[in-house]
Structure formats: C-alpha cells, structure tokens
C-alpha cells in the first residue's frame, strides 16, 4: 500500500493539472470502491474548481470552491492517470476508459484524470472543508512526520513507558501519520534501533535520532519519487526509484550496508508484517 512518500509524490504530480482549474465533468462508473461513494458524487464534483490539492497522512485532499473536500485514498492498487496534458517532459494523449477505470474527471484546459483501481481497495468521499478534521478517516491521526509538531521530544513522550515494540508504535497512525512498514524499517536502521526493542527502552537521545532518521528517509523517498514494489506509479506514469536505495527492507541475508558493520540483514515477523533489520548495528535496547 502506498505510504506517505508515494502519496506526496502523486500530489505533487497532480497539483499542476488540478489546482486552480474546474472539473468540467465527472464520470463515476461504479457505485463504490472499498466503501460506497458519497451520494451524487458526480453531480457534486462537476463544475467545482479545485482551489488546493493537499495531503494528510496517506490521503489526498482536494479543496473545492463548493466548500467541500474530495478525500482520496489510493488503497492497494489505486492510481491517478493523467492524460490530455503535458506532465513534466511527458505528453499523454487523452485516454479512453479501460476496465478498472472507476472515476474519470475531465479538467478545464483539456486534461483528464482517471482513477484506476484493479483491486478496488481505494476510497473516496466528499466532506465539508471547514469540518474536515472531524472526518472519521482523519479525526484520530497523529502529527505529520515532516511537520513542526513532530520532533524527538514528542516521539520520546509517546514511546515512554510502553512495552510494545517500537516498530508497532511507529506504525500506529494515532502516534504519527503516514508511516508504513517500508519506511519504518528504513528509519529504524538509520537510527540504529531494533524494531524488536520495547518502545520504553528508547531514551530521549535515541528518540531524537529516530525522529531525524524518519525525516531523512521520507525526504529521500519523496525526492526519488517513492518506492515501486507492485502497482504504484507516479502521476506521469513513471515508477518510483527509492526501492533501489533500501538499506534493509526486502534484503534478508544480504550484507548490512552500514560502513564497518559487517552484519547480515535479518527478517522477523511482527503482527503479521515482515521487519527487516541488522541485528549487529541495531540495538535491542
């Protein structure tokens, strides 16, 4: 499932096509994805101007001049395809609908955005912009890891006294928004902290180091266009490239890349998810 860097990359790719432009027509080709679409979604989108395209955690947020916000979650395989306009150095001809194209938006200026989702785990909703933080998908989210509210002190407070493994705490969207399995593994490696370590064993200095590692990993992943492991594509159709920079994720039995370490990447299963780490340079405590 796309994590924060992938969603942010998509946002940056779509913003030049959407922001300041009207949705001339909306073609909603099925009643639902993961959940039912909001009532009269096509009618409510048609004619609305996109004032701002933002992101909260793993959700895209399109603020409309109708005082509603379109909330989009990509799910496992959802992606926005741009056609009819030039995106960066690529020109994409206007695309004809295909089997898994579920929502099609014709945009002022000749562009077309198509939401394609083969597995249909994506989601969309329309919600009053002024009450957006109360939406059930957004209400309990923690701070953005690239925002000012997230730092070592905050992280130390949320980890203190908890027996839960530190990795599980970082994956809790109520603690920090947008992190997923890939980037938590990578950040813990950079910080030299084992994913198996109890959260309470991460002291203030280690929490400061970990908060910085999270920022660095996310910023590097965004710069690389995210990580393409299965279905993810950028808005211009290109793959992300951060997977070529993984230090531990998916590298079980490979040599640790930390200079002078000499360890070997191991894999452990935590709550049904694979954790990749170097037992030599990532401490249990």
Q: What is the pLDDT of residue 109?
A: 87
Options 2, 5, 145, 165, the catalytic residue? 2
Which element (helix H / strand E) includes 177? none
Tell me how long the chain is: 285
Say whether both 167 and 111 belong to one domain: no
In a domain, 147, yes or no: no
Say whether both 166 and 123 belong to one domain: no
Say whether both 129 and 176 belong to one domain: no
Kindly report the CATH number assigned to the domain that includes residue 169.
1.10.8.50
Say whether both 161 and 109 belong to one domain: no
Q: Is 273 a catalytic residue?
A: yes
Say whether both 8 and 119 belong to one domain: yes
In a domain, 145, yes or no: no
Q: Write out pLDDT tens, residues 85-120.
A: 655 544 455 555 678 999 999 999 888 999 999 999
Which residues fall within 8 angstroms of residue 13, CB to CB, at 6 or more apart?
A: 82, 87, 234, 235, 236
Say whether both 100 and 203 belong to one domain: no
Q: What is the pLDDT of residue 3?
A: 84
Say whether both 212 and 181 belong to one domain: yes
Which element (helix H / strand E) includes 246? none
- Burial of 8: CB neighbours in 10 Å, binned 0-12, 13-18, 19+: buried
Whole-angstrom Cα distance, residue 193 to residue 285?
7
In a domain, 32, yes or no: yes
Q: Is 3 a catalytic residue?
A: yes
Which element (helix H / strand E) includes 260? none
In a domain, 141, yes or no: no
Angle between helices 152-159 and 204-223 (to 10 degrees): 120
Q: Is 2 a catalytic residue?
A: yes
In a domain, 45, yes or no: yes
Number of domains composing the chain: 2
Q: What is the pLDDT of residue 2?
A: 78
List the 59-64 sheet strands across, edge first: 50-56, 59-64, 68-73, 123-128
Say whether both 128 and 159 belong to one domain: no
pLDDT at 11 over 70: yes
Options 3, 8, 68, 186, the catalytic residue? 3
Pairing of strands 123-128, 68-73: antiparallel
Say whether both 72 and 169 belong to one domain: no
Range of the domain at 182: 152-277
In a domain, 143, yes or no: no
In percent, the amount of the chain with pLDDT more than 90 equals: 73
Q: What is the pTM of this model?
A: 0.87
Q: Write out pLDDT tens, residues 207-244.
A: 999 999 999 999 988 887 654 344 434 444 443 434 44
Kindly report the CATH number assigned to the domain that includes residue 76.
3.20.190.10
In a domain, 191, yes or no: yes
Q: Is 58 a catalytic residue?
A: yes
Options 11, 56, 58, 112, the catalytic residue? 58
In a domain, 142, yes or no: no
């Amino acid at each position: 499932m796309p994590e924060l860097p992938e969603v942010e990359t998509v946002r940056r790719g779509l913003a030049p096509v959407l922001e300041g432009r009207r949705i001339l027509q909306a073609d909603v080709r099925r009643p639902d994805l993961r959940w039912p679409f909001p009532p009269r979604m096509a009618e409510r989108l048609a004619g609305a101007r996109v004032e701002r395209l933002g992101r909260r955690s793993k959700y895209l947020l399109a603020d409309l001049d109708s005082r509603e916000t379109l909330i989009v979650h990509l799910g496992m395989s959802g992606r926005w395809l741009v056609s009819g306009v030039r995106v960066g150095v690529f020109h994409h001809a206007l695309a004809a609908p295909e089997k898994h194209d579920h929502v099609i938006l014709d945009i002022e200026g000749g562009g077309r955005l198509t939401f394609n989702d083969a597995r249909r785990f994506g989601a969309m909703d329309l919600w009053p912009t002024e009450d957006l933080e109360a939406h059930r998908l957004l209400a309990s989210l923690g701070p953005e890891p690239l925002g000012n509210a997230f730092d070592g002190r905050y992280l130390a407070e949320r980890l203190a006294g908890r027996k839960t493994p530190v990795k599980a705490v970082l994956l809790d969207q109520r603690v920090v928004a947008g992190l997923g399995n890939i980037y938590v593994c990578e950040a813990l490696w950079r910080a030299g902290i084992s994913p198996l370590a109890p959260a309470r064993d991460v002291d203030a200095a280690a929490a400061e180091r970990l908060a910085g590692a999270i920022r660095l990993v996310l910023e590097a992943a965004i710069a690389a266009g995210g990580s393409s492991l299965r279905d993810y594509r950028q808005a211009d159709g290109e793959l992300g490239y951060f997977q070529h920079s993984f230090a531990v994720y998916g590298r079980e039995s490979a040599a640790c890349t930390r200079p002078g370490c000499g360890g070997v990447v191991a894999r452990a299963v935590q709550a049904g998810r694979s954790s990749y780490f170097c037992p030599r340079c990532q401490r249990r405590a």
